[in-house]
Amino acid sequence: MKAILQASKFEFFKTNFHNSGLIDVLLDIIKSGTDVHLDLREYAFNILSNICSGNRDNQKEFRRKGGIELLKVCLAYSEVE
């Protein structure tokens, strides 16, 4: 995940990630919730952010795969009593 995170910062790799199905894998990691270690979820969020930044194809794919709705759920505030 650390290698993918570093590679996701470069434009050259952003297009390759779109074609590889990486967005599906990252969204699955995020959906897993507490079943996956928190560090992996954090890497997945950061990678998605990097590959979508400035890349329309990845942004569209992220939206098509339900990424925006997933982010809303993950970022929703809930009071703990």
Rounded to 10°, the helix 22-31/56-64 angle is 50
In a domain, 63, yes or no: yes
- Residue 80 forms part of a structural domain: no
Residue 36 has phi, psi (to 5 degrees) of -115, 145
| Predicted model pTM | 0.84
Q: Indicate the number of domains in the chain.
A: 1
Q: Tell me which residue range forms the domain holding 33.
A: 2-75
81, part of any domain? no
Residue 12: inside a domain, yes or no? yes
Query: pLDDT digits over 1-54, tens only?
Result: 999 999 999 988 888 887 788 899 999 999 887 778 889 999 999 999 999 999
Nearest to 62 by CA among 13, 27, 11: 27
21 falls within a domain:
yes
Give domain status of residue 67, yes or no: yes
CA 4, 10, 11, 12 dihedral sign is: negative
